């Protein structure tokens, strides 16, 4: 296997684990070369309060073997960023794998890369996938042809292992899982709305709305502006 160029979109307000979780795993693929791409090489602030350095700019990376778009608080701004959306569209049109984690699926959708594909995203945003032409599926990982999407945040690790198995085989993925000791045993069983219950879902929703009160309206407006209202 030759070099496999894997590129992640890095943007202000990214949920860092959406990016760093899959990057840690996918970087172990045979021949992997990973780039974190943004408009400049200046440090990019994440939603965790620290910044990450890009390794390349949009002009440096016109194509790649695998494109991954993470999610985060800054997704609506990315969709409004013509340069970022054009880059996602350009790289995604020629990539062997076009992928996302969490609300990064909405960016793929906005770029026209999920029209007619089954996809997943964070549970709180599944209802927006059809606005961008995708068919929502409630799953940790969804693969439809060469589109691979992961659910919210930590699902990015399951997504990465599933994708690794498709690309390099189960044995490679299993070995990486062992090397990184991915053997989850959470102290609480509240990682999905069904398990958490309505009260906790309401607490989460209220907090999310305080942090980004206009995010849902901005994403719906973006879908309409981009011509997806008939989807």
Active site residues: 102
* Pairing assessment for the beta strands 4-9 and 66-69 based on DSSP bridges: parallel
- Strand extents, DSSP E, the chain: 4-9, 32-38, 44-45, 51-52, 56-57, 66-69, 97-101, 118-119, 135-136, 141-144, 147-150
Q: How many CB atoms lie within 10 A of CB 2?
A: 7
Phi first, then psi: what are they for 194, rounded to 5°? -65, -40
Task: Write the DSSP assignment of 78-89 as a string of letters.
Answer: HHH-HHHHHHHH
Residues 6 or more apart whose CB falls under 8 angstroms from that of 214 comprise 76
Pick from 24, 22, 21, 122: which is nearest to 75 by CA?
A: 122
Instruction: Give the 3-state secondary structure percentages of the chain, helix then strand then coil, rounded to 5.
Output: 45, 20, 35
The residue among 57, 133, 56, 143 whose CA lies nearest residue 99 is 143
């Amino acid at each position: 296997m030759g070099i496999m160029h894997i590129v992640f979109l890095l943007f202000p307000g990214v949920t860092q684990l959406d990016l760093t979780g899959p990057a840690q795993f996918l970087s172990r693929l045979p021949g992997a070369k990973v780039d974190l791409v943004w408009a400049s090489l200046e440090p990019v602030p994440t939603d965790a309060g620290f910044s990450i350095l890009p390794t390349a700019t949009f002009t440096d990376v016109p194509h790649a073997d695998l494109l991954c778009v993470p999610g985060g608080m800054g997704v609506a701004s990315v969709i409004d960023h013509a340069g970022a959306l054009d880059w996602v569209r350009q790289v995604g049109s020629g990539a062997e794998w076009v992928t996302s984690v969490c609300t990064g699926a909405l960016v793929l959708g906005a770029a026209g890369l999920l029209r007619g594909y089954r996809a997943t995203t964070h549970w709180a945003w599944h209802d927006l996938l059809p606005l961008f032409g995708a068919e929502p599926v409630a799953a940790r990982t969804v693969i439809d042809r060469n589109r691979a999407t992961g659910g919210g945040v930590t699902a990015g690790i399951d997504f990465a292992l599933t994708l690794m198995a498709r690309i390099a085989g189960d044995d490679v993925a299993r070995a990486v899982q062992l090397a990184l000791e991915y053997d989850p045993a959470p102290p609480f069983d509240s990682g999905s709305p069904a398990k958490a219950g309505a009260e906790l879902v309401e607490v989460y929703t209220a907090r999310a709305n305080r942090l980004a009160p206009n995010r849902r309206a901005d994403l719906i407006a973006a879908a309409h502006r981009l011509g997806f209202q008939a989807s």
